[in-house]
């Protein structure tokens, strides 16, 4: 049963404060949520309708003779006319994105690309300091108010729910959720993973993505706007090998989760993924030790005196030679694909995983 307290509160507020309030979703959220703390769904529905500009569904729901809507409706009409007179907006103007894993590597590049495209972004990461650094960097590309940051643990539904609430409180809704965070577990000296690390890999790489969808679903549903989710798989999901079983199998499961979620959340939410291969530059998944191990494994010459970036570059070039395009894959290449899927350009694609692997024949779809 819909609680109409937030709607009545909105009318009261607009009467008291005027239309300017409608352009301040953060304050509006705070006021409506304070008026009715037990009805976040209704509040998000109102904010979604306001962001749409043409809140037909809300207006018809509001057609109660006891509630005078004229103030609100005339201001919405005005806003719509103003928007129509404005020059075309950037692709993500007035859109809100939550980027999990946004502190480093591919996620950080997604944040920066979204900033250039006009989005409001919450940067969320297990490492709060890197989330803040990425949000600060994004501020240099857009307006300071368009970016916020929070810590989050993809392996915890409470933490994800908190990040979702934080985003709604900050910007009034969510249009795109991106997750790039994952765990690449390193085996012990015997070459095996402990039972705990095996489980944790699946908790983060599979269950965490499911929990993220579950904790975001109510916002997508109640705000009533077309939305998208983009998750990050790997070429390893398709290429079996020795030594990285837990990671590889978790990414195979993630591919199927993308398809299942696309069906479950349709038609409102599109769900897609990307599958990168060996993005060495800028990734915390390739610390110096792992790079050196790989250089030794592939018998690539190097000197201990070389910087980590030089060693990474050697390894990236080696991996590139295994692909059809022969050029190292950069975090920016992956971010471009993610942002394409997250926005209107990818509006007709759902349930798919786009490879960004330089053309890795072993990972061709089968």
Q: What's the closest the beta carbon of residue 245 comes to ligand NAD, in angstroms?
A: 15
Q: Strand pairing of 353-356 and 269-276? A: parallel
**175-204 core/surface letters (b: 16 or more CB in 10 A; e: else):** bbbbbbbbbbbeeeeeeebeeeebebbbbb
Q: What's the closest the beta carbon of residue 95 comes to ligand NAD, in angstroms?
A: 22
Q: From the candidates 104, 251, 294, 319, give the one annotated as an active-site residue.
A: 251
Q: What's the closest the beta carbon of residue 84 comes to ligand NAD, in angstroms?
A: 40
Pick from 74, 73, 75: nearest CA to 23: 75
Binding mask 108-147 for ligand NAD (x = CB under 6 A): -----------------xxx--x-----------------
Pick from 320, 314, 287: nearest CA to 105: 287
Q: What's the closest the beta carbon of residue 285 comes to ligand NAD, in angstroms?
A: 4
CA 17-23-28 angle, to 5 degrees, is 65
Q: Which of residues 243-282 bind ligand NAD (CB under 6 A)?
A: 276-279
Please give the Cα distance from 206 to 247 (Å, whole number): 10
Count of residues engaged in binding ligand NAD, rule: CB under 6 A:
30
Q: What is the DSSP letter of 146?
A: G
Q: Which of residues 171-190 bind ligand NAD (CB under 6 A)?
A: 180-183
**Comparison of 82 and 310: residue with beta carbon closer to ligand NAD:** 310
**Known catalytic residue: 247?**
yes
Stretch that binds ligand NAD, among 54-62, 68-76, 102-110, 295-303 (CB under 6 A): 102-110
Q: From the candidates 29, 184, 247, 319, give the one annotated as an active-site residue.
A: 247
Q: What is the DSSP letter of 344?
A: G
The one among 31, 112, 153, 201 contacting ligand NAD by CB under 6 A: 153
Q: What's the closest the beta carbon of residue 217 comes to ligand NAD, in angstroms?
A: 19
* Residue with the shortest CB distance to ligand NAD: 105
**Known catalytic residue: 297?**
no
**Known catalytic residue: 299?**
no
Distances (CA, A) of 154 to 43, 92, 157: 26, 25, 7
- Could you tell me what percentage of the chain is helix, strand and coil, using 3-state DSSP and rounding each to the nearest 5? 55, 10, 35
**Comparison of 104 and 167: residue with beta carbon closer to ligand NAD:** 104
Q: What's the closest the beta carbon of residue 51 comes to ligand NAD, in angstroms?
A: 27
Under the binding rule (CB under 6 A), the answer on residue 204 touching ligand NAD is yes
Contact assessment for residue 228 and residue 181, using Cβ atoms and an 8 Å cutoff? no
Q: What's the closest the beta carbon of residue 25 comes to ligand NAD, in angstroms?
A: 26
> Which are the contacts of 355, defined by CB distance < 8 A and separation ≥ 6?
235, 274, 275, 276, 277, 363, 365
Under the binding rule (CB under 6 A), the answer on residue 78 touching ligand NAD is no
Where helices occur in the chain by DSSP H, the ranges are: 5-17, 25-35, 40-52, 56-61, 70-85, 105-116, 128-139, 157-171, 195-202, 208-223, 245-265, 288-297, 308-320, 331-342
Q: From the candidates 104, 159, 227, 233, give the one annotated as an active-site residue.
A: 233
Under the binding rule (CB under 6 A), the answer on residue 284 touching ligand NAD is yes
**Comparison of 167 and 234: residue with beta carbon closer to ligand NAD:** 234
> Which are the contacts of 191, defined by CB distance < 8 A and separation ≥ 6?
243
Q: Which of residues 205-244 bind ligand NAD (CB under 6 A)?
A: 232, 234
Residues with a known catalytic role: 233, 247, 251
Binding site for ligand NAD (CB under 6 A): 100-101, 103-107, 125-127, 130, 152-155, 180-183, 204, 232, 234, 276-279, 283-285, 331
């Amino acid at each position: 049963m819909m609680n109409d307290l937030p709607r009545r509160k909105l009318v009261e507020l607009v009467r008291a404060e005027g239309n300017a309030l409608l352009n301040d979703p953060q304050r509006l959220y705070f006021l409506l949520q304070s008026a009715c703390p037990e009805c976040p769904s209704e509040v998000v529905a109102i904010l979604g309708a306001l962001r749409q500009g043409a809140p037909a569904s809300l207006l018809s729901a509001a057609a109660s003779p006891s509630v005078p809507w004229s103030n609100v409706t005339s201001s919405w009409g005005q806003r719509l006319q103003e928007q129509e007179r404005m020059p075309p907006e950037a692709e993500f103007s007035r859109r809100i994105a939550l980027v999990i894993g946004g502190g480093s590597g591919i996620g950080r590049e997604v944040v920066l690309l979204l900033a250039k495209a006009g989005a409001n972004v919450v940067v969320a990461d297990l490492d709060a300091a890197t989330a803040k650094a990425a949000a600060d960097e994004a501020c240099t590309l857009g307006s300071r108010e368009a970016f916020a940051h929070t810590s989050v643990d993809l392996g915890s539904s409470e933490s994800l729910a908190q990040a979702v609430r934080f985003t709604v409180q900050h910007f009034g809704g969510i249009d795109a959720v991106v997750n790039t965070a994952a765990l690449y577990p390193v085996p012990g000296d015997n070459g095996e993973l402990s039972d705990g690390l095996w489980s944790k890999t699946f908790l983060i790489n599979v269950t965490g993505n499911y929990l993220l969808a579950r904790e975001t679903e109510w916002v997508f549903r109640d705000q009533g706007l077309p939305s998208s989710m983009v998750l990050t798989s790997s070429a390893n999901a398709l290429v079996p090998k020795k030594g990285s079983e837990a990671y590889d199998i978790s990414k195979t499961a993630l591919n199927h989760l993308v398809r299942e979620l696309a069906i479950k959340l349709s038609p409102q939410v599109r769900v897609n993924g990307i599958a990168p291969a060996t993005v060495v530059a800028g990734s915390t998944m390739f610390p110096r030790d792992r790079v050196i191990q790989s250089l030794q494994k592939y018998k690539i010459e190097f000197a201990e005196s070389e910087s980590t970036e030089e060693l990474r570059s050697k390894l990236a070039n080696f991996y590139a030679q295994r692909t059809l395009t022969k050029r190292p894959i950069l975090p920016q290449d992956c971010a471009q694909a993610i942002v394409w899927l997250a926005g209107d350009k990818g509006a007709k694609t759902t349930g798919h995983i786009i490879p960004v692997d330089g053309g890795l024949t072993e990972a061709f779809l089968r």
